[in-house]
Amino acid sequence: AAVKLLRDRVVAAEVIVSIDPLNSKDDSSPQFTMELAGNESENVPKCYSLDMFKDITPMCAFSQTNNGKVSVEGKVVNKFDMKPHNESIKEYGKLCRERTNKYMTKPRQLQMIDNERHMRPMPGMGIISSIPKDKKKATPVKGTDTKRTRRDRGEMEDIMFKLMERKPNWTLRQLIQETNQPEQFLKDILKDLCVYNNKGANQGTYELKPEYKKSND
């Protein structure tokens, strides 16, 4: 028996059901094959085997007319898996490779820009400089801590105690400006003499450790 499948009122494929009349066993099942009627692509296989399964999720088929009316056409009771016939395996493999190459290749797109404002660099984009390398090297560099001369360790500790007597809380930047000492050198002294306030009203400042406050008093 043959069943024709229509698409837009045109025969798109033909399903052939084959039954062996000499096989009277209960477990015998009909064989299904499908042949495409159209010639959409030379690499698309025309003949397929259909494997039928009954253990599927319940589904229904619906139809909709041009005026939006929806109707229930029936209940789906079987599922068919399509597999190209052995003679069409090579054509099907070629088709799969063509599809893979098509989706892996990103086509380039060209677009004409009429407005010159689009040519301006957006925020965060790098700008290529045309300044010669020798002129770039002559750019003045900000002063660093290497220009500051370290005082004697004991002398600096005495200065720190006097500053803390004058004002109990200091920021690191204030102490660098007040003492004109390298930043890392000051940090080493502050680590021994002071505590850093991470929160509270004096957040971000240094003050003497409690034991030095007592001895200072």
Q: Residue ranges of the domains in the chain?
A: 13-104, 153-212
Q: Are strands 47-53 and 2-7 parallel, antiparallel or unpaired?
A: unpaired
What per-residue confidence (pLDDT) applies to 97?
A: 82
3-state secondary structure 141-206: CCCCHHHCCCCCHHHHHHHHHHHHHHCCCECHHHHHHHHCCCHHHHHHHHHHHEEECCCCCCCCCE
Using CA atoms, how far apart are residues 174 and 160, in angstroms rounded to an integer? 12
Q: Which architecture characterizes domain 153-212 according to CATH?
A: Orthogonal Bundle (1.10)
- CB-based burial of residue 136 (10 Å sphere; 0-12 exposed, 13-18 middle, 19+ buried)? exposed
pLDDT of the residue at 196: 93
pTM: 0.35
- Taking the chain (217 residues) in runs of 10, the rounded mean pLDDT of each run is 69 80 66 76 74 83 88 87 75 79 77 61 54 53 61 88 91 91 90 90 90 66
